[in-house]
Amino acid sequence: MCSSSKWLEITFWVEFVGFFLSVSSHFILIYLILEKPKATFGNYKYLMISFSASGIFYSCLNFWCKPNIHLSETSFAIFTILKTSGVSQPIGVVLITLYCSSYAMMLSLLSVQFFYRYTSVISPLNSTRFSRKTAPFYIIYVMSFFNIWALLTYFINGPSNMKNQEFIPAFQIEYCLGPTDFSYIGAKYYYFENEIRRYHWPSFICIFTMSSLMCSTFSGLSYFGTCTFKTLKKVGLTSYGSKELQNQLFRTLVVQTIIPTIFMYFPVSCMFLFPMIGLEIEQVAIFIPITVSIYPCLEPMVAMYCIKDFRHRIQDILTCSTVTRIQVSSTQRDSFF
């Protein structure tokens, strides 16, 4: 029995459950959004739908690819088992590349969401920043992240003879996988030549660029989230509906800042950093694919729970209730979530 093969099966089932929960919850959220008139959310309605559609796309790639992580003291690899993904080895590399690029796309969309909240709270009169005229800018922004990540992944982190010399024997020992049983992409920071350790600079440059993209989005989340939080705390809201909306936004903002930090940024940062400093921790390799596959289902669940109108609507559907609720709506025309 290979040392890590049991974890491949565990990861497979976690990714399967994550896919089901993600796709179903995103479709439910899209349905709830479409039920509301455009005046309720304004242009943010389209951003929410775009984020949910991207979450479905990401989850579908994750389910098809079923990625696993391998870490060593000098390298990391993201690999798919061809038997489960049902593709050839070259297509497997393309599939992993698309999956990794969709990760970058999710981060860029997340930063756009936080920028919208920031604009709506700090400068609501500048709502024209999100309109049909500015939509191409955001599309280019998101696709730039996707394309840059894809090019770096495929052409620099793609398979090579140097990486094969390490990964093929390691995968045979740890996962019982032969050379033709898997496809991978990965970075190898160091290699040995005449018993001298040398730096593989393309891997360092590639990961530095990817890390810069991650840091830029995380900085945006932190800055926009902090400014939004401080403004909501500072501004006095007098009406009951505004106070109710404020409390919902406090909870949602805090939770939706913590979730991507734990489930998206931290695991991938560990994957990039640990081999660079010579750390090899098996539990981290198990942890990473599980967290990034669970993340897409958490965002819509948070929205459906924290926004009272959505939560009540789901309760009505589940209980087949036809009673009209008499309440102050938590999502008025000037709502910015």
What does the pLDDT profile of the chain (337 residues) look like in tens digits? 687 778 888 899 999 999 999 999 999 999 999 988 776 677 778 888 999 999 999 999 999 999 999 999 999 999 999 999 999 999 999 999 999 999 999 999 989 988 988 887 777 666 677 778 888 999 999 999 999 999 999 999 999 999 999 999 999 999 999 999 999 999 999 998 888 999 999 999 999 999 999 999 999 988 988 888 787 777 654 444 455 655 565 667 678 778 889 999 999 999 999 999 999 887 889 899 999 999 989 989 988 888 888 888 898 888 887 554 544 444 443 443 3
At residue 328, the pLDDT reads 43
- Looking at residue 225, its pLDDT comes to 83
8 Å CB contact between 68 and 82: no
Rounded-to-integer distance, Cα 41 and Cα 307, Å: 12
**CATH numbers and ranges of domains, the chain:** 5-188+196-319 (1.20.1070.10)
Determine the pLDDT at residue 15. Answer: 92
Predicted pLDDT of residue 181: 97
Please report the pLDDT score of residue 96 as a whole number.
Answer: 98
- pLDDT score for 334: 40
Contacts of 306 (CB under 8 A, 6+ apart): 248, 251, 252, 255
Distance CA 111, CA 225 (A): 10
pTM: 0.89
* Predicted pLDDT of residue 335: 41
In the three-class reduction of DSSP (H, G, I as helix; E, B as strand; rest coil), residue 280 is classed as: coil
